[in-house]
Amino acid sequence: MPINKEILELRKKVSHNRPAFVRQESWRYARLAENWRKPKGIDNHQRKQKKGWPRIVRAGFGGPKIARGLHPSGYTDNLVYNIKDLEKLNPKIDGVRFGHGVGKKKRLAILAKAKEKNFKMFNARVSTSGSKS
């Protein structure tokens, strides 16, 4: 059951009206992916926002300010590197994601503390076996 359900619904409603921002000429060439790249040519039709060309990313297309930084579960997304970082958070509204550089020993300690305080964990993949797979 997600928290901040109304905020997530608002974000979904706003993103439904947002155009699909596609890379220029991606529909023409298979080698170009559709992921967004800003058009920068001096005569580029998409950059000049000519009629009939896809929209470009601009201010005003963003989601609601209240919904920024929310995980799809409704919790805020917080990076944690040690137990001290965990103590600053509220388990009712904050979710926890391990930092990239956190090793196995510290990860297990943070995980135990997070389970004790009932935190929502986003990347709690920890193997307890001795192998490194």
Give per-residue pLDDT as tens, 91-130. 999 999 999 999 999 999 999 999 999 999 999 876 555 5
Q: Each residue of 59-76: b (16+ CB within 10 Å) or e?
A: eeeebeeebeebbeebbb
Tens of pLDDT, residue by residue over 43-95, are 999 999 999 999 999 999 999 999 988 999 999 999 999 999 999 999 999 99
Question: Does 42 fall in a domain?
Answer: no
Question: Does 116 fall in a domain?
Answer: yes
Q: Which two tokens stand for residue 39?
A: 């058009």
**Total tally of structural domains belonging to the chain:** 1
Question: Does 81 fall in a domain?
Answer: yes
Question: Does 110 fall in a domain?
Answer: yes
Q: Which 3 state secondary structure label does DSSP give 96?
A: strand
Q: What is the distance of C-alpha 81 from the center of its chain?
A: 19
Residue 82's pLDDT is what? 94
Question: Does 90 fall in a domain?
Answer: yes
Question: Does 35 fall in a domain?
Answer: no
Question: Does 93 fall in a domain?
Answer: yes
Residue 129's pLDDT is what? 57
Residue 127's pLDDT is what? 59
93 C-beta neighbours (distance < 10 Å), count:
13
Question: Does 105 fall in a domain?
Answer: yes
Task: Evaluate whether 44 touches 25 at the Cβ level (below 8 Å).
Answer: no
Residue 4's pLDDT is what? 86
Residue 101's pLDDT is what? 93
Q: What is the pTM of this model?
A: 0.72
Q: Which domain holds residue 91?
A: 76-121
